[in-house]
Chains A and B, each alone.
Chain A
Amino acid sequence: MSETALQAVGLVRRLEGAITHTLVNGIDLSVSKGEFVAITGPSGSGKSSLLYLLGLLDAPTVGDVVICGQPTAKLSETERADIRLTRCGFVFQFHFLLPEFTSLQNVTLPMRAAGKMSEKEMHERGLELLTSLGLKDHVNKRPSQLSGGQRQRVAIARALSNRPEIIVADEPTGALDTTSTEQVFGILRDIADSGRTVVVVTHDPALAARADRRIHIVDGKIHETIQGRGPAPEPAIAVSATAVEP
């Protein structure tokens, strides 16, 4: 049996207020190491909320998220921040790169925050990641000088910089054109193939079809789980993304 990288145990997330909204309503989920899981569902179904809970960006009202065997429900915010820094990599629909920093500086940011590598090591790793994602000529450019797809690839490089076991991506192709979408698809698939766990929220059936498992969420609950890759849709443009190192 494959090793579990990520586990959700009875996850519930409610927003308390005049009217209580239940965003996630009792989800149990287990994701193996190296598995590529796509979470799909209609708008407002709770898929992004589930992803934020799985990435420890948000805390559940009830339940627990177990990351690489470590329960997180009773951890302090500082301890959760430490796990986010070292074990999780985030990619969002919007790139969220620091606009005043270059691509390389943005990529090395999590490594510098972790403070476990020398300046030289961080520089070399940053260059290596950007090169592997086809951004060798853009290392000293700022986000404003890059295209949407290039920015998203820099964001992926940043997510990978601390060698996290888990990558969580919230609609990473939502704001990209077809070409860039294909590139990002390929990269995320390569990341999973290299042994990392990838959990992606997407509206895009093409990306979902490339996942090892598709989980369909409706009203905060798992409505359907489809094992195995779906029929591969014809890509608009063939892209060969360089394999990401493990």
Chain B
Amino acid sequence: MATKLIFDIAWTHVTARVRQTLVGMAGVSMGVGFTIMMAGLMEGSQIDFLRQLVDTMPHITIQDERRSIPIQPADQEYGAVQMSNVANLNNRPGIKYPESVMASLRSWLPGEVTPSVRTTAIIDHGGGRIGVTLMGIDPRQEVRVSKLGSQMREGQVTDLSRAPNAIIIGEALAQKLAVKTGNTITLIGGQGTEVNSTVVGTFRSGMKRVDEGQIYGLTGFAQIMMGQSGVINELRLRLNNPLVAQQVAIQVEAQTGYKSVSWQEANADLLSTFAVRDFIVLTVMGAMLLTSSFATYNIISTITHEKRQDIAIMKSLGMREYQVRRIFIIESAIIGTVGILFGWILGYLLCYGWSHITIYNVLTGANVPLQIYYSPMHYIIAGGISLICCTGAAFFPARKATRVHPVEIIRGAS
């Protein structure tokens, strides 16, 4: 019964001061709305960036190296033996029995695996030399593990099989070298092998590092350039769920013994930057919501000041201090709740509006729409924090007001 009375008094106070109440609600709405928009924008751009990153590179790369030096037989057999700086100078590069390894992985892997040869080469064209990474691939299997097929701007991935020593280069590199599809350029391999290659297509991944520094050829061609026939020095994996890449990489490494690098590990520095960015964004959003709650603080302070006599009489009639205090906290909660509801609508509309804004990307030369991520969590978190801030903001003026001795106010008014 007393709870209903408290709510009724709170409701009466709030509805009797329409302008003040609307100002308070507007403050909360703005805070919540802009927080949702900011969260959607930040997370949207982050997810879009990661999607591009994940699409461009394999989810897991198995390299022909080991994380730690294998234990030597002498070290294993004799405890007194101590070895350091062990290196096998005659170690043949590449993954041993790659077909067997792939067959074994395919039996359980939730995704696809393809072999490739990674080597370096120098493009000698037009009097200039540019170092690039040459990826030897199998065109039929490549489309299963990468987005190269959809990134092609001219030609197709299968065109690699149409001409001897064919290569596909990045669009940015093609512009840099001033070559077009069908032109021939000279490639120099690691062993000094020099071959004339035909450009059969161009691609654009959207990542400058790849578009200017990576070219594709057939596996056999890459092996020739490397000077190691039959070698496969990299297995690339694409998973159905890229988010489990880290766990799968550990399993793969345990099974094969080769260093398996997930996309998360390969971009650990970037992801840690995202964590810092997330922290900054959360801090800014919290500050926005806290600032918006100051409007509520002001309103409750004003109401408690104006209602000193009412507080005094309610206390003198026998209402407890906490009951009177609760009136003002409920008032704040009403302002906060309605403000949050409008803030949610405002936030959605802002997100919708911003998703229609496009920004010109100098690198890709395309107008890219702002990526907005719609998540109920943004609404729940913004609303929750705002409600806590509002009720917290009301607590202090309410506590101060209800601590006043009723006799002081009654004497003052008489």
- Hey, which bits of chain A sit against chain B, CB under 8 A? 48, 52, 55, 57-58, 77-78, 81-86, 88, 90, 92-94, 96, 98-101, 105, 109-110, 112-115, 158, 170-171, 174
Q: Name the CB-closest residue of B to A52.
A: B407
Measured between beta carbons, the chain A residues less than 8 angstroms from B2 are: 112-115
Whether B319 and A81, one on each chain, are in contact in the complex, defined by CB atoms closer than 8 angstroms, is yes
Whether B410 and A113, one on each chain, are in contact in the complex, defined by CB atoms closer than 8 angstroms, is no
Give chain B's interface secondary structure class: helix
> Interface digits, B306-326 against A, CB 8 Å rule (1 contact, 0 not)?
000110111111111101000
Interface residue ranges of B2-24 to A (CB < 8 Å): 2, 4-5, 8-9, 12-13, 16
B414 at the interface (CB under 8 A from A): yes
Q: Name the CB-closest residue of A to B405.
A: A58
Cα separation A171 to B9 with both chains bound (whole Å):
28
With beta carbons under 8 angstroms apart, the residue of B16, B320, B410 that contacts A81 is: B320
Interface centre among B4, B12, B319, B323 (most CB of A within 10 A): B319
> Interface digits, B379-414 against A, CB 8 Å rule (1 contact, 0 not)?
000000000000000000000000001110011011
Cα separation A245 to B317 with both chains bound (whole Å):
21
Cα separation A113 to B411 with both chains bound (whole Å):
24
Q: Name the CB-closest residue of A to B406.
A: A57
Cα separation A161 to B407 with both chains bound (whole Å):
22
User: B334: shortest Cβ distance to chain A, in Å?
Assistant: 15
User: B364: shortest Cβ distance to chain A, in Å?
Assistant: 62
With beta carbons under 8 angstroms apart, the residue of B5, B16, B309, B316 that contacts A84 is: B316
Sample (14) of A-B pairs whose CB atoms are under 8 Å apart: A81-B319, A84-B316, A84-B318, A90-B317, A93-B414, A96-B313, A100-B13, A100-B16, A101-B12, A105-B8, A110-B318, A113-B319, A113-B323, A115-B1
Measured between beta carbons, the chain A residues less than 8 angstroms from B411 are: 48
User: B9: shortest Cβ distance to chain A, in Å?
Assistant: 7
User: B401: shortest Cβ distance to chain A, in Å?
Assistant: 15
Q: Name the CB-closest residue of B to A110.
A: B317
Measured between beta carbons, the chain B residues less than 8 angstroms from A105 are: 8
Closest 8 CB pairs of A and B: A85-B318, A115-B1, A96-B313, A112-B5, A84-B318, A100-B12, A93-B414, A81-B318
Whether B414 and A170, one on each chain, are in contact in the complex, defined by CB atoms closer than 8 angstroms, is yes
Whether B309 and A113, one on each chain, are in contact in the complex, defined by CB atoms closer than 8 angstroms, is no
Cα separation A154 to B402 with both chains bound (whole Å):
25
Whether A92 and B12, one on each chain, are in contact in the complex, defined by CB atoms closer than 8 angstroms, is no
Measured between beta carbons, the chain B residues less than 8 angstroms from A57 are: 316, 406-407, 410
Q: Name the CB-closest residue of A to B318.
A: A85
Q: Name the CB-closest residue of A to B5.
A: A112
Measured between beta carbons, the chain A residues less than 8 angstroms from B321 are: 77
User: B413: shortest Cβ distance to chain A, in Å?
Assistant: 5
User: B107: shortest Cβ distance to chain A, in Å?
Assistant: 71
Cα separation A48 to B411 with both chains bound (whole Å):
9
Cα separation A113 to B318 with both chains bound (whole Å):
8
Known A-B contacts A58-B407, A112-B1, A115-B2; A94 and B318 likewise in contact (beta carbons under 8 Å): no
Measured between beta carbons, the chain A residues less than 8 angstroms from B4 are: 112
Whether B317 and A84, one on each chain, are in contact in the complex, defined by CB atoms closer than 8 angstroms, is yes
Measured between beta carbons, the chain B residues less than 8 angstroms from A100 are: 12-13, 16
Cα separation A84 to B312 with both chains bound (whole Å):
13
Whether A109 and B317, one on each chain, are in contact in the complex, defined by CB atoms closer than 8 angstroms, is yes
Interface centre among B16, B407, B413 (most CB of A within 10 A): B407
Cα separation A114 to B323 with both chains bound (whole Å):
12
User: B2: shortest Cβ distance to chain A, in Å?
Assistant: 5
Whether B309 and A96, one on each chain, are in contact in the complex, defined by CB atoms closer than 8 angstroms, is yes
Q: Name the CB-closest residue of B to A55.
A: B316
User: A166: shortest Cβ distance to chain B, in Å?
Assistant: 13
Cα separation A99 to B413 with both chains bound (whole Å):
15
Q: Name the CB-closest residue of A to B16.
A: A100
Known A-B contacts A96-B309, A96-B312, A174-B414; A85 and B319 likewise in contact (beta carbons under 8 Å): yes
Q: Name the CB-closest residue of A to B414.
A: A93
Cα separation A86 to B8 with both chains bound (whole Å):
21
Q: Name the CB-closest residue of A to B307.
A: A98
Cα separation A99 to B309 with both chains bound (whole Å):
10
Cα separation A115 to B12 with both chains bound (whole Å):
20
> Interface digits, B4-48 against A, CB 8 Å rule (1 contact, 0 not)?
110011001100100000000000000000000000000000000
User: A56: shortest Cβ distance to chain B, in Å?
Assistant: 9
Measured between beta carbons, the chain A residues less than 8 angstroms from B9 are: 98
Cα separation A113 to B7 with both chains bound (whole Å):
12
